[in-house]
Amino acid sequence: MLRYLALAILALTFAATAADDLSRTKTIKMDLYTVSAPATKGWVTKKDKRSKTINIAKTDRASKIGLWIDIIPQEVTGMYATVHTQKWLGDDLVRREHANMVALGVIPGMYKLEDVTKYETDIGGKHGYAMRYRKDVLGEFTEHGYLFVYFPPDFEERGVIYKFLRTSTGEGSASSEPDYTVFDFVIDSFRSRSAR
């Protein structure tokens, strides 16, 4: 019982610092885009130039609390991109992510997927297609997830969309919502870079 109380206190402390995490930030430049990330203690940013992805993370291994934000460009080409509207593409990309989680995690019994909601939303003036969910991973821990699919203004020119994925463990509970302050900040700071 004391272990769970200690974990709950650590989780609250971890979440309460989200606004403090943004007291110092840094701009990360990739070939296709720039984005800002927290530069305060505990935050680590990894860039993969080959896959053009960025991972922004803050973890506390001892308490099993972690927050990860991934920015993943995805090329959308061919008839798939030209025949359908952005709304259809956005809804379909979210539906496919959900189907992948069911096929790769739920069916094999790796986790239970709960509270899945799919919708359109705006974050920082950017319109996108979203999915929130909760995973119960083998009864060991809960993972909260939030996927945001964004079509930048240069989508028709480049054919690239961006998936922002926020996952966290040890944060909140089945009945409470995680703090999305840092996630919203990262999305708000996102800018496409002009084609060279």
CA separation for the pair 54, 69 (Å, rounded): 8
Write down the pLDDT at residue 133.
94
CA separation for the pair 11, 172 (Å, rounded): 7
Write down the pLDDT at residue 78.
72
Write down the pLDDT at residue 19.
64
Q: Where are the domains of the chain?
A: 2-192
CATH of range 2-192; options 3.40.1000.10, 1.10.3720.10, 3.40.50.300, 3.10.180.10: 3.40.1000.10
Write down the pLDDT at residue 42.
87
How many Cα atoms within 13 Å fall on the side-chain side of residue 22? 14
| Average pLDDT per consecutive 10 residues, the chain (196 residues; last block may be shorter) | 38 53 90 92 91 89 77 83 83 96 95 94 95 88 92 90 90 63 93 75
